[in-house]
Structure 1
Amino acid sequence: MTAIIIVFGLFLGLLVLRVPVAVSLVLSAFVGILMEGLDPVNVVSQSYRGIDSYTLLAVPFFLALGFLISRTSVFERLLDLAAVIVGSVRGGLGHVNIVNSMLFAGLSGSAVADTSSEGPVIIPLMRKRGYSFEYAAAITAATSTIGLIIPPSILMVVYAATNNTSVAALFAAGFLPGILIGLVFLVINYREAKRKNIDYGYSHQQPDQKPRSKREIIVRAIPVLMIPLLIIGGIRSGTFTATEAGAIGFAYTFVLTVFIYRDIKFGQIVNFFRDTVLLYSLPMLAVAAAGPFGWMLTLLGADTLVADLVKSMALTPFTFMLLVIAVFTVLGTFLDGIPAIIIFAPLFDAGATALGIHPVHLGVVITIVLAIGLVTPPYGLCLLIAARLANTPVLRVVPAVLPFIAAELAIAVLLAASSDLALFIPRLFAADVFQ
């Protein structure tokens, strides 16, 4: 117990001192290893074991896919399609922002890529439509988190690899919550537009752009919509693993954007892959560092401690899930989602198993809560990016993003209360597995 407190306390202390997360994890694990008299080489071996996962190989493909989409006309085609679907409704441009993020979510599974690609385009347009910069930044950041919930989802891939859970089941379980969040966001935006008496709904295109018919927009989007069909359909049918689906989805998009749309010239391909590798190195460094830290906590019996604590508190499945929401809300505020899952999800998995909570149910709730962490300061990366794109201080954006955070938290609590809601779609496809 004392060793657990020291290791975990040291980790938190280093974070407070603004030491990089990966360094904090490794140093804390190293201290724990020395306290237990173990061989320090375990830091290296456990770091390697942390990234030695076939399922985790899906992460670079989904990151590269999101990066590719954000730099090509694929984003423009999605934006046009979203405008056709909801652009004419009151609050149309805000609705386009939301629906575009939902469509983007079905392609890349990366919230940061969504914010980075959508923000420079949609935020100035929303300002011209009468929205404040603060609200435009808030809705752009908030809607991008849907990318971690509607499959494919990078966080779900990491959770599946860490907790030995089916990627296909997690992806299936993410559809309904993601759609619910999107619908609630549409209501929030409609009320905002009506309250401020702005945005009566019309095309997002600029006056100097050649107008396109609805038929042309839909036809232009069809090849793009094949991407999620390849990924999700391939995984669901058992034709591909998550890693193979990511690779095939990326290969299809690469051919589409480089050879057919010609959005990227051959001379830019080397730079694209270089930037993708650099982007991938950041989460994988955290994954490698989380390996020895998570192993150290398990070795010290932290998972058993959590399970015993759950039993002693006589928690019901619902109250346990509320505890999970509370803990991961705090973790997501200070820690990236990937190391948070690798370190802490296995600890709570033991308690969930003792209460009969399905790991897919737990995984979906954790994913939603960690997605919220991307729009809560001080870590909220999507919030920081959107605020910078809007040239607005982050603290001024926070009040505008609170309704969206409250909506996502409410749906997380709703899922915690009802496993049927979380497992409804997985049960449609595998009723024998999800009883």
Structure 2
Amino acid sequence: MMLIVLFAVLLALIFLGVPIILTLGLIGLGGILLVPELVLALYPQKMFSTLDSFSLLALPYFILAGELMLRGGISRKLVDFAETVVGHLRGGLAQANIVASMVFSGVSGSSTADTSAIGSVLIPAMKEKGYKAGYAAAITATSGTIGAIIPPSMTMIVYGALANVSVGGLFLGGIVPGILIGLALMGVVYIQSRSASRYPEMQTGDGQFSARAVLRASLKVWAALLAPLIIVGGILGGVFTATEAGVVACVYSFLISFFVYRTIRLADLPRILLAAAMTTCMVSGIIALAGGFGWLLAYLNFNKVVLSTILGLTDEPMVVFALLMAAMLVLTMFVDSMAVLIIMVPLAVYIGQTFGLDQFQLGVALVMATQIGSTTPPVAVLLFVASSIAKCRYSETVRFVWPFIAAEILVLVLVMLFKPLASAIPQWALG
């Protein structure tokens, strides 16, 4: 009964628009006060123990690296590179949007940052070329989800810390699924471009493909393109851990923005550091409170209750995996995706261990589900961000987003069915 009351109040507060950090704090605190044998001092203790994680040390460094890259104007250069590579195709700007997001994801580590940075450059350009504002917003939001899947990834750092899974392994596990999502979205654009009546703006590309132009564009943006290779290559080669990779990313981001592109000055650093610190504090606060709430759920045997319910339905691991992913997709339609991930991690890991699911496959799939949820109405943060940039109604963006969501769900199903897609690289690299 206590569990039902806690979850009912949790969902009610979220639907009423109460900030998630305040919601988790109130529910966790109220739950401890309602259990007679628990003392209040346990709550801050469990919050601190959640943050006392080596994996979470990477979080502020990657956030700072992302801020340096964003303020350094790297997005404009990456967009120019993407247009040079695929701009000649039918629906060239739409294809460039996806390619730019795939490349920028290796720099920002955040789907929101990816959507904002790429959208601010490409959405106005797409509208000028005749693309409907809602369509431009929809493709920008869905391609922005790759930002949390291709390494580095803020979401994977959070998951790795809470689930006690190697963050480096999760980074490596996201490479193939992230690329597959990009290719699937490009496939949707290609199919749509074959319909001249519905998408007349996609019938011509921008110029012709030129290897020389691609080479010139690569020379202009080589420093930014090198960033994800350094991070992934360093982890693969055992040169540094995922946490140390965050420090490397910070130093590298500053060097190329300050010395190579000269787009930031020393006077800009206080503002950049403040923005990174604010983001870090916000994310850390949510993680800490969710950790306390998760401990309370474990104490009340929430995991065992859910597991016994599942066992009453089926004992097939793949069916259980599918049920877990379906629950994540449904929940993220109504609740903030990061909040769902943080709350569900202990349960998901418990179920995964019980049924022998691969830890990297499970982690990557859960992160993918949260990102798909970020574009699935009614609560879809990335759609709101992209619609704001496109200056169009949210309902207009929703009208165009469904084929792209279907493509992302298809890739999620493939990751669930074929374990090597998410686990082969980390198992090879980490032994």
Question: Which digits, 9 at most, give the CA deviation of each residue in 1:320-372, with x for residues without a partner?
Answer: 11111111112323444443333212112222222111111111110111001
Count of residues in correspondence between the two structures: 423
| Contact map agreement 2:338 2:370 (CA 8 A) in 1 | no
Over the matched positions of the two proteins, sequence identity in percent amounts to 37
| Contact map agreement 1:383 1:394 (CA 8 A) in 2 | yes
Gaps of 5+ in 2: none
| Contact map agreement 2:332 2:340 (CA 8 A) in 1 | yes
Tell me: CA distance 1:203–1:57, structure 2 relative to 1, closer, same or farther (3 Å).
Answer: farther
| Contact map agreement 1:306 1:348 (CA 8 A) in 2 | no
Q: 1 CA distance for matches of 2:241 and 2:429? A: 17
Q: How does 1:44-193 map to 2 (within 5 A)?
A: 44-193=44-193
Q: 1 CA distance for matches of 2:355 and 2:279? A: 39
Q: 2 CA distance for matches of 1:334 and 1:66? A: 28
Letter in 1 for 2:51: I
> Is 2:211 the partner of 1:198?
no
Q: CA deviation at 1:289?
A: 1.4
Q: 2 CA distance for matches of 1:65 and 1:373? A: 26
* Counterpart in the other structure of 2:331: 331
Letter in 1 for 2:294: G
* Counterpart in the other structure of 2:13: 14
Q: 2 CA distance for matches of 1:427 and 1:286? A: 31
Q: 2 CA distance for matches of 1:19 and 1:337? A: 15
Question: Which digits, 9 at most, give the CA deviation of each residue in 1:266-315, with x for residues without a partner?
Answer: 22221121122222222222112112110100111111222222322223
* Counterpart in the other structure of 1:308: 308
* Counterpart in the other structure of 1:33: 32
Q: CA deviation at 1:213?
A: 3.8
The 3-state SS of whatever aligns with 2:333 is helix
Q: How does 1:369-408 map to 2 (within 5 A)?
A: 369-408=369-408
Q: CA deviation at 1:185?
A: 0.6
Q: 2 CA distance for matches of 1:67 and 1:378? A: 29
* Counterpart in the other structure of 1:4: 3
| Contact map agreement 1:361 1:419 (CA 8 A) in 2 | yes
Q: CA deviation at 1:203?
A: 6.0
Q: 1 CA distance for matches of 2:109 and 2:170? A: 13
Q: 2 CA distance for matches of 1:228 and 1:6? A: 45
Q: 2 CA distance for matches of 1:278 and 1:333? A: 27
The 3-state SS of whatever aligns with 1:298 is helix
Say which is worse superposed, 367-376 or 232-241, in terms of deviation.
232-241
| Contact map agreement 1:67 1:113 (CA 8 A) in 2 | no
Q: 1 CA distance for matches of 2:274 and 2:429? A: 39
* Counterpart in the other structure of 1:207: none
Tell me: CA distance 1:242–1:428, structure 2 relative to 1, closer, same or farther (3 Å).
Answer: closer
Letter in 2 for 1:346: P
| Contact map agreement 1:155 1:337 (CA 8 A) in 2 | no
Q: 1 CA distance for matches of 2:429 and 2:71? A: 35
* Counterpart in the other structure of 1:286: 286
Question: Which digits, 9 at most, give the CA deviation of each residue in 1:380-408, with x for residues without a partner?
Answer: 22111110111111111102111111111
Letter in 1 for 2:31: G
Letter in 1 for 2:95: H
Letter in 1 for 2:32: I
| Contact map agreement 2:235 2:242 (CA 8 A) in 1 | yes
The 3-state SS of whatever aligns with 2:96 is helix
Q: CA deviation at 1:376?
A: 2.1
Q: CA deviation at 1:241?
A: 1.8
The 3-state SS of whatever aligns with 1:253 is helix
Letter in 1 for 2:404: F
| Contact map agreement 1:150 1:179 (CA 8 A) in 2 | yes
Q: 1 CA distance for matches of 2:427 and 2:49? A: 33
Q: 2 CA distance for matches of 1:85 and 1:236? A: 27
TM-score (norm. length: structure 2): 0.93
Q: 1 CA distance for matches of 2:388 and 2:67? A: 19
Tell me: CA distance 1:401–1:131, structure 2 relative to 1, closer, same or farther (3 Å).
Answer: same
Q: CA deviation at 1:427?
A: 4.1
Q: 2 CA distance for matches of 1:251 and 1:291? A: 31
Say which is worse superposed, 409-418 or 379-388, in terms of deviation.
409-418
* Counterpart in the other structure of 2:266: 266
| Contact map agreement 1:83 1:203 (CA 8 A) in 2 | no
Gaps of 5+ in 1: 205-211
| Contact map agreement 2:79 2:122 (CA 8 A) in 1 | no
| Contact map agreement 2:184 2:411 (CA 8 A) in 1 | no
Q: CA deviation at 1:245?
A: 0.3
* Counterpart in the other structure of 1:416: 416
Q: 2 CA distance for matches of 1:178 and 1:257? A: 26
| Contact map agreement 1:62 1:110 (CA 8 A) in 2 | no
| Contact map agreement 1:26 1:43 (CA 8 A) in 2 | no
CA RMSD in angstroms, aligned pairs only: 1.9
Letter in 1 for 2:5: I
The 3-state SS of whatever aligns with 1:198 is helix
Q: CA deviation at 1:149?
A: 1.1
